[in-house]
């Protein structure tokens, strides 16, 4: 049985608690397919004010996460799983961009994944140098902290673990697997306020439905995210359909 094992180091474990205790992630944890442990960095401070941050050397604005509590916390995480290997990941805007491929890689990772979430503007560089294997970013924008980024990574990787999604849901799992955007979906009624469901979906012709879906995926990708076509898995038939769509949509 494959499982995703994650330790999250954070100053605000409460940010993760809600999302991990709802819906699919909650069920995955109950089924032992997802094991997430959160650790509060503040518990590893030594002074009576439990100081985790300090002002930067060299005099600039903002605060920096201190190295001592992070080193201590990481030592405690490792001591709690003796003999286990870890992949330590820092979430920050300076990281390599996290995408579906990275999610796949994490979902197949046998080591425990240690996610380090900074809150404040920065983290002491000695943490990065001594403790971090990889630095990842979930996108080119700035968050208030790494916790929401850690949740994105956990969520995207967990749903790829076999058994996390039910049969009904897992049909959707591949929609990014081939690098294309999803096709449109419809449910009852067949006509709603004058808006009709495409005829082919009511036809019962499975082959025609599959062709329609593929075509719609290609169309959505061409119109909304043409950059994805460069790396998508395309058949010769896909390429023909794309050429035809480009002509029709005036994309040439
Ligand atoms: N994708 N942030 C981290 C503080 C920080 C800065 C530098 C360590 C080093 C982000 C993102 C993100 C804001 C999380 C700054 N910690 N994380 N935080 N985009 O914007 O992952």
User: Residue length, the chain?
Assistant: 252
Confidence of residue 206 (pLDDT cuts 50, 70, 90): very high
Q: Is the pLDDT of residue 172 over 70?
A: no
Centroid of ligand 1 to alpha carbon of 11 (angstroms): 13
Phi-psi region of 157 (alpha: psi -120 to 50; beta: other; left: phi over 0): alpha
Per-residue model confidence as pLDDT tens digits over 120-157: 889 999 999 999 999 999 999 999 999 999 999 999 99
- Atom 7 (ligand 1): residue with closest C-alpha? 122
Cis peptide before 40 (omega within 30 of 0): no
Mean pLDDT of 91-118: 97
Phi-psi region of 120 (alpha: psi -120 to 50; beta: other; left: phi over 0): left
pLDDT for 177:
79
Token pair listed for 219: 């169309």
Mean pLDDT of 165-189: 83
Q: Tell me phi and psi for residue 73, to 5 degrees.
A: -60, -45
Centroid of ligand 1 to alpha carbon of 92 (angstroms): 3
Mean pLDDT of 190-197: 98
More confident residue, 177 or 213: 213
Straight-line distance from the first to the last Cα atom of the chain, in angstroms, rounded to the nearest whole number: 48
Mean pLDDT of 96-110: 97
The percent of the chain in helix, strand and coil, each rounded to the nearest 5, is 45, 20, 40
Token pair listed for 174: 């591949």
Confidence of residue 202 (pLDDT cuts 50, 70, 90): very high
Q: Tell me phi and psi for residue 182, to 5 degrees.
A: -70, 155
Per-residue model confidence as pLDDT tens digits over 63-96: 999 999 999 999 999 999 999 999 999 999 999 9
Quick check: CB of 137 below 6 Å from ligand 1? yes
Confidence of residue 170 (pLDDT cuts 50, 70, 90): confident
Q: What is the CA radius of gyration of the chain?
A: 23
Q: What is the pTM of this model?
A: 0.96
pLDDT for 175:
61
Q: Is the pLDDT of residue 174 over 60?
A: no
Within 10 angstroms of residue 241's Cβ, the number of other Cβ atoms is 19
Nearest-atom number in ligand 1 for the CA of 144 is 13
Centroid of ligand 1 to alpha carbon of 85 (angstroms): 25
Confidence of residue 14 (pLDDT cuts 50, 70, 90): very high
Confidence of residue 171 (pLDDT cuts 50, 70, 90): low
- Give the C-alpha separation, 90 to 113, whole Å: 11
In the predicted model, what is the mean pLDDT of the chain? Answer: 96
Token pair listed for 107: 């979902």
Per-residue model confidence as pLDDT tens digits over 18-58: 999 999 999 999 999 999 999 999 999 999 999 999 999 99
Percent of the chain with pLDDT over 90: 92
- Give the C-alpha separation, 138 to 134, whole Å: 13
Ligand 1 pocket test, candidate residues 93, 115, 138, 153, most atoms within 8 A of CB: 93
pLDDT for 169:
73
Mean pLDDT of 4-15: 98
């Amino acid at each position: 049985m494959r499982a995703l094992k994650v330790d999250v180091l954070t100053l605000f474990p409460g940010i993760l608690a809600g999302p991990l205790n709802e819906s699919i992630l909650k069920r995955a944890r109950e089924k032992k397919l997802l094991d997430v442990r959160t650790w509060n960095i503040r518990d590893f401070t030594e002074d009576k004010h439990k100081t985790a941050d300090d002002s930067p050397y060299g005099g600039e604005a903002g605060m920096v996460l201190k190295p001592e509590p992070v080193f201590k916390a990481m030592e405690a995480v490792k001591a709690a799983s003796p003999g286990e290997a870890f992949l330590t990941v820092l979430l920050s805007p300076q990281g390599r961009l996290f995408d579906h491929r990275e999610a796949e890689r994490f979902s197949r990772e046998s080591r425990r994944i240690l996610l380090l979430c900074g809150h404040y503007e920065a983290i002491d560089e000695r943490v990065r140098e001594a403790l971090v294997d990889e630095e990842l970013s979930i996108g080119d924008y700035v968050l208030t902290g790494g916790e929401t980024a850690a949740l994105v990574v956990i969520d995207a990787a967990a749903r790829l673990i076999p058994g996390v999604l039910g049969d009904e849901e897992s049909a959707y799992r591949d929609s990014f697997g081939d690098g294309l955007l999803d096709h449109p979906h419809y449910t009852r009624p067949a006509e709603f306020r004058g808006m009709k469901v495409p005829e082919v979906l009511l036809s019962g012709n499975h082959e025609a439905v599959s062709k329609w879906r593929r075509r719609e995926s290609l169309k959505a990708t061409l119109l909304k995210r043409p950059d994805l076509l460069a790396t998508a898995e395309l058949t010769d038939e896909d390429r023909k359909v794309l050429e035809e769509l480009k002509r029709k949509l005036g994309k040439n």
